[in-house]
Amino acid sequence: MVQRKAKQKTKQKGGAEWSHNHDHRLCIVDALDRAADLCAGRGARLTSIRRRVLELIWSSHRPIGAYSLLEVLKQERANAAPPTIYRALEFLLEQGLIHRIESQNAYIGCPNPDPDQQHKGMFLICTDCGNAVELEETKIDRLLRNSASNQGFVIESRTVEAAGLCPECQVS
């Protein structure tokens, strides 16, 4: 088990997520550490390509497209091609380490990957700065399930993406 700095980091609540000038290096390190732990625990192989793609995705809090990732990866691995990226994305999605933002055909790191099950996130996405924050709204999830259940529908997975202005971008 990798010792992680994450344990020392106090997680702030309530909008701190939107701060445009946090120490983002910590986000990256934490994400990579968590990923390593999770994969180790599952016997899943976080190869160097996969690790690097995850790192690139975590290079910001903005969803990033497959071909943007490819552009960067190509500078390091001349033979990187679309399948290189898409395979890595597939793996990371399966492991619950990233989410796909359907409304943007883009990918974003999961800040809280669940060791037991991979969840689908709920996101607030700023139309101005592009940053996206994942919500953990069990209430909404429950309400949605109930609502579906009223029609006899059983939800297996869901996509919730809200676009708008983050607190920092409202000052205009």
Partner DNA sequence: ACACAAATGTTATATTATAACAATTATAAA
Partner DNA sequence: TTTATAATTGTTATAATATAACATTTGTGT
Answer for the pair 54, 98: CB distance below 8 angstroms, yes or no.
Answer: yes
Which option in DNA, a copy of itself, none does residue 150 bind, with CB closer than 5 to 8 A by kind? Answer: a copy of itself
Q: How far is the CB of 108 from a copy of itself (least distance, A)?
A: 15
Q: How far is the CB of 105 from DNA (least distance, A)?
A: 4
Query: Which residue, 13 or 25, is less far from a copy of itself as judged by CB?
Result: 13
Under the rule (CB under 7 A), what is the footprint of DNA?
Answer: 44-45, 47-50, 65-68, 77, 79-84, 86-88, 91, 105-106
Under the rule (CB under 8 A), what is the footprint of a copy of itself?
Answer: 14-15, 17-18, 102-103, 122, 124, 126-127, 133, 135, 137, 139-140, 143-144, 147-148, 150-167, 170
Three-class SS of 60-117: CCCCECHHHHHHHHHHHCCCCCHHHHHHHHHHHHHCCCEEEEHHHCEEEECCCCCCCC
Query: Which residue, 63 or 113, is less far from DNA as judged by CB?
Result: 63
CA distance linking residue 4 with residue 120, whole number of Å: 25
CA distance linking residue 154 with residue 22, whole number of Å: 40
Query: Which residue, 17 or 121, is less far from DNA as judged by CB?
Result: 121
- The letter for the amino acid at 5 is K
- Give the number of other Cβ atoms within 10 Å of residue 147's Cβ: 11
